[in-house]
Structure 1
Amino acid sequence: MWRNTDRNIKSAVPIVWPRLVLFGDSLSQHALEEGGWGSRLAEKLVRRCDVVCRGLSGYNSRFARLVLPRILPYTNKKEENENTTVTVLLGSNDSVSPVSPQQHVPLAEFEENLQGIVSYLASLGIQKKNIVVISPPPLCEPKWVVECKKCGYNVDRQNAFTGKYAAACMRVAAQAQTSSLDLWTLMQHELHNWQDYLSDGLHLSPAGQRFLAEALWTLLEPLLADLPSILPRWDAVNHERPEDSLLTWPQSD
């Protein structure tokens, strides 16, 4: 019989689960929807890593840089973040025309903000290779014009302008020696029908969600390959003395 249950539970050492944090704008906020790129990654990482969505619809790099320390607070215990991976996907809102001043951020400031975000993440003890800077996807202008007319928005985006912000993302990643994914270039070079990968010209369609998940997994799999399955399989637990298996993991796994 298992005895001293309360004592065993109170003395149990908490398990610190590895984390994959999805940080950015609506492209990240939608990531955990059914079929979203974050949901697809979570399925691959089940029981090995928490996938945490911290996407904020409509946010630009100026807003994101300000709130990041509230989302991932600074800690002196940097070892807590050794198994944290963060994706940073920003630029779609920064790159709107100045006709939309609530979201537009000048290119130079965008680059500076992104540098600040990456620098802050590194200061938390997150390994640079585990910081993944993702560029915004391309913009399908005809679809976006239709969406703007339908919703009464100003037509405030151009694909070529978004491309300048995508290039800035890659410059920041190269300078900081982080991982990176140039989604803007990748979609247009690898997909002859890349416009179908965007639902309204700006946001990812189901096909786009799948494409980003697959491209990102190519980067993440080597980084996360060594993460073990957390806690032993049920049939490996000593059913007569489960505390021997469950309270000493991973030592006895």
Structure 2
Amino acid sequence: MAANVQDAIMLLGDSLTQGGYDLNGFVAKLAHVYNRKMDVINRGFSGYNTDWILPVFEQCFATQHEQQHVPKIRLLVIWFGANDAAPPPKPQHVPLDRFRANLRKLIWMVRAPESPHYSPETRIILMTPPPVNTAQRERAQLAKSPPKELDREFETTRRYAEAVKEVGKAESVPVVDLWENLYEAAGREEEKLEDFLTDGLHLNEKGYAIVFEGLEKAIKDAYPEYHYDNLQSVFIYFDLIAENPDKYMELTKKRSAFAHS
């Protein structure tokens, strides 16, 4: 499939997405494999939950009228739950039913013809929150100045991961089950999750490697036309330019004229 110079992948999430360029993270790897095929747009907002992201998404995802002037979002990856699962009365807490409704609202905004942000070309993938290591998280919280109390629960986060899968099934949206993938990689032992987490909540390089592997597989299985192996590079390679520079320049001008017509 030929890529368009304006095609893009958008990643919508919290700090797990925002930090995706860190430590050889999954966003950095995506940008590498999609280089000259699709741009990767990181819209991760540290600390955000699904309540707070809704008005932000309305601003960072173009309306139908605006879409002709900005990159076309071919893939939208939605990754929430890690903050929504904070136990009440933490301000980040979002009850499970509202969490499900918020995920459905994000999907509706892209899929529904009556939505101002309707984008029939966009394909959606959901990702579950990863499991937490409560012992590691508690140590990290106590080490802060001033010390803070434990703010996540292993079983609660699992329920939010299950909720993501429920929404995916109901809306026919593929889901990357990172909770299961990481827990399995840790031998299904919470304490061994420390190998994949920096502070019991956020991912290290090994953790992000599992995220990238799961997302890459989901794209390949659900939307193979947008897998990087099936996309042609935007613009011709330099070795072909050298063979006939005049022809290359003419083709490039024609493509530019077509793109802006």
TM tier, shorter chain?
A: 0.7 to 0.9
The letter of the residue matching 1:243 is M
Q: Which residue of 1 aligns with 2:183?
A: 188
Q: 2:106 aligned with 1:117, yes or no?
A: yes
Residue deviations 1:74-131 (CA, integer Å, cap 9, x gap): 114778876520111101111011031x211111111111110111122422457x21
Q: Distance in 1 between matches of 2:80 and 2:194?
A: 20
Alignment of 1:225-240 (within 5 A): 225=227, 226-237=230-241, 238-240=244-246
State the distance in 2 between where 1:150 and 1:196 align: 19
State the identity as a percent: 26
> What TM-score, normalized by structure 2, do the two folds share?
0.83
- 1:163 paired with 2:167, answer no
Counterpart for residue 217 of structure 1: 216
Q: Does 1:244 align with 2:244?
A: no
Counterpart for residue 142 of structure 2: 149
Q: Does 1:99 align with 2:105?
A: no
Say whether residues 1:199 and 2:194 are aligned partners.
no
Matches within 5 A, 1:60-99: 60-76=49-65, 84-99=74-89
Judge conservation of contact 1:84–1:126 (CA < 8 Å) in 2. no
Instruction: Flag as ranges the 4+ runs of structure 1 deviating above 4 A.
Output: 76-83
Report the alpha carbon displacement of residue 241 of structure 1 after superposing the two structures with TM: 4.8
Provide the C-alpha distance between the structure 1 equivalents of 2:133 and 2:29, rounded to a whole number of angstroms: 24
TM-score norm. by structure 1 comes to 0.85
Q: Which runs of 5+ in 2 are unaligned?
A: 113-117, 257-261
2:27 is equivalent to residue 32 of structure 1: no
User: Which amino acid in structure 1 is aligned with residue 82 of structure 2?
Assistant: S
- 1:178 corresponding residue in structure 2: 173
How many equivalent pairs are there?
235
Q: Which amino acid aligns with 2:128?
A: S
Larger radius of gyration: 1
- Cα deviation for residue 236 of structure 1 reads 2.2
